[in-house]
Amino acid sequence: MRRKACSREAICKVTELEEDLAAMAADELDRALTLSWRELAAVAPWGDAYDGFTPAGRQVTVERSYLWAEQSGGDIICEVLVYGGPSRWEEGAKAAGLICVDGCIAAVGAWRPAARQ
């Protein structure tokens, strides 16, 4: 998504970057949530990472993880993080959803990752 006008070019680029990363994270989350609880329960906790391209053509790293939300055998949280390489991890976009034991799927939200420690 591009903004039509910006008072400062730098602000416009940052906004475009954030929107681009968020769009990629949301798209990947939609795909990740197509797996059933039964399929994921056999492999959770599990995660992977790959290099890809955002809708605007930026090269990024996409991390996807499936973790037990509270306890093994319960609901599974799916987290997706999209960032422009290791040095830009903190500038990435994150989206998450919940795959419930009973089959329901709930969006958890989108946010910026906290600083790595």
CA distance linking residue 63 with residue 79, whole number of Å: 8
Residue 57 or residue 5, greater confidence = 57
Mean pLDDT of the chain, nearest integer: 80
Instruction: Please give the pLDDT value at position 39.
Output: 92
Model confidence at 10, in pLDDT bands (50, 70, 90)?
A: very low
Report yes or no: 26 and 114 within 8 Å, Cβ to Cβ: no
Q: Tokens at residue 39, please? A: 């399929």
Can you give the pTM of this predicted structure? 0.75
